[in-house]
Amino acid sequence: MDRISDSDSEDAGSIPAGATQVHVYCLRNWVNDEIYVGISANVTKRVKEHNLGKNRYTKAFMPWSAFHSEAFPNYQTARIREKYFKSASGKRYLRKLLAGSLPA
């Protein structure tokens, strides 16, 4: 399956005001080869939430594991990268990254 979730990531209001970095993170579900892309100030906490079923979309496809994360200075620039990962070329990039044909 070659799908990447277009579910909404954390909105800007849920990113702590004092956050020094915002991360775009990519999760993989090994059961059905699903990829999920989101934004968070705390990727470790967010992955745990996904695996506890606290996200409506990812709840049905647990367990998830993070395979890529990028840090950005603010939500706006992170959102641009998140949108890229959800585009056709971004999906191809993530699949190549998973295949090991690109450096992490």
pLDDT tens per residue across span 65-75? 999 999 999 99
Model confidence at 16, in pLDDT bands (50, 70, 90)?
low
Distance CA 87, CA 98 (A): 16
Sign of the dihedral defined by the CA atoms of residues 71, 63, 2, 60, in that order: negative
* Closest residue by Cα to residue 66 from 24, 96, 21: 24
Q: Is the pLDDT of residue 24 over 70?
A: yes
Would you kindly state where each structural domain of the chain is located, as residue ranges? 1-6+19-76+85-90
Amino acid at 29: N
Model confidence at 31, in pLDDT bands (50, 70, 90)?
confident
R_g of the chain computed on alpha carbons = 13
Angle at 94 between CA 4 and CA 14, to 5 degrees: 60
